[in-house]
Every structure is written in C-alpha cells, then in structure tokens.
C-alpha cells in the first residue's frame, strides 16, 4: 500500500508539472551533434575536446539510465576498448540537451563525462568521419548520427 501511495503521489507531481515519463517507444531523444576535435588540439591530450550532444525533442521526461552511446567500432564489436558510454542515473527533461564529453569531469545536468583519461587510446570519435549510436536500456537503437570528414 505504501509503494502504491508513493507511486500515485509521484505520478500526480509529474502530471502537475505538465510532464510525463516516456517509455522508449516514441522517444524523441536525438543525437544533434558530434564534435570530434578542435583544429590544432590533440584530443589524445585533451579528450574533452570531443563530445556528443543529445536533445530531448519530446514533451516527456526521458530516463536515460543505462542507455548507451557508442561509435561505429563499439556498435560492431561491443564494448571494445571502452568505446561504449553507459549513462549513469540520469533523466533528460523535455527540450533539454546534454553533452557527453570523452574525458574526465564532474557530471552535471547538462554535461556528462565518459571518463577516458588523456593518452594514446583516449579519443573515441574519428576525425575522418564516424557514426554515433544511441541505444536504449532494451538494446534498441534509438538514433544514429553519421558525420563526414
């Protein structure tokens, strides 16, 4: 009874705010940009010069907990050499964006960090073109974003 009451109160609060929780069917979260490097910056030394940005274009909160962002290599080979980012507990509000930086930092509501330290294997996104995949908790591809050289 206590769990049902908490669920009912939570649902009422979300409804009062004009928001709802979305399931992955019909989710409007899209990859809107991938930044592979900055001219003259060695991404091996500064992995945070790389990032991928997502936006929730829908009208519902989207729980991204345990979703995955990966590149072409990570998509084809699984978590090969750390090429898959697993979202921590994280909810994206309607109309909000979040950038996932390749390097290390403190997560916020608009910035998340992959956790790759500077070094030879730090970069994820290829400077000569790559494909980013957003995969939901059920393993379904939600969005694909390909960028050229």
Q: How far apart are CA 38 and CA 83, in angstroms?
A: 20
- pLDDT of 114: 93
When comparing pLDDT for 24 and 63, which is higher? Answer: 63
Q: Given pLDDT bands bounded at 50, 70 and 90, which one contains residue 13?
A: very low
CATH number for 20-147 (one of 2.60.40.1260, 3.20.20.80, 1.20.120.1760, 2.30.180.10): it is 2.60.40.1260
CB-side neighbour CA atoms (13 Å) of 91: 11
Q: What are phi and psi of 12, to 5 degrees?
A: -65, -40
Q: Residue 115: CB partners within 8 Å, gap ≥ 6?
A: 103, 104
Provide the whole-model pTM. Answer: 0.78
Report domain extents, the chain: 20-147
Q: What is the pLDDT of residues 130-142, one digit of tens each?
A: 999 999 999 999 9
């Amino acid at each position: 009874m206590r769990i049902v009451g908490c669920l009912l109160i939570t649902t009422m609060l979300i409804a009062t705010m004009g928001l709802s929780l979305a399931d992955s069917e019909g989710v409007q979260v899209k990859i809107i940009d991938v930044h592979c490097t900055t001219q003259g910056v060695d991404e091996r030394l500064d992995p945070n010069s790389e990032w991928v940005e997502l936006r929730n274009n829908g009208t519902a909160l989207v729980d991204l907990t345990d979703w995955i962002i990966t590149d072409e290599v990570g998509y084809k080979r699984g978590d090969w050499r750390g090429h898959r980012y697993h979202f921590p507990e994280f909810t994206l509000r309607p109309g909000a964006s979040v950038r996932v930086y390749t390097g290390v930092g403190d997560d916020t509501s608009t910035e998340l960090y992959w956790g790759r330290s500077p070094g030879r294997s730090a970069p994820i996104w290829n400077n000569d073109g790559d494909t980013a995949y957003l995969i939901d908790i059920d393993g379904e591809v939600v969005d694909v974003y390909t960028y050229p050289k």
